[in-house]
Amino acid sequence: MSDTLTLVPHSSHAVPVDIKPRRYGLPALGSLISTWHQRKLFRQDLAKLARDNPELIDDIGLTPQWVKAEIEKPFWRP
């Protein structure tokens, strides 16, 4: 499959845009899944810490609002 060059309108003139198909291999997929898993575990640990020892959250310099926002994020969001 060859790369293509497409003209996309931008204000009053056309701007060339290089469009290349993205190709992800198994290593990239494995890395992505690993990252998602690590986020899930981190957020579970953070939730447990906030529930069991809320005073430690303050001791490490985090706010309850930040902790709540972080815990509520889905695993795919950084």
Over the stretch 3-59, which tens digit does the pLDDT of each residue have? 555 555 555 555 555 667 667 788 999 999 999 999 999 999 999 999 999 999 999
Q: How far apart (Å, rounded) are the C-alpha atoms in residues 20 and 3?
A: 6
Q: How far apart (Å, rounded) are the C-alpha atoms in residues 67 and 43?
A: 9
DSSP-derived secondary structure letter, 33:
H
Which domain does 72 fall in, by range? 25-78
Total structural domains within the chain: 1
Kindly state whether residue 71 falls inside one of the protein's structural domains: yes
Kindly state whether residue 13 falls inside one of the protein's structural domains: no
Taking the model in full, what pTM does it have? 0.66
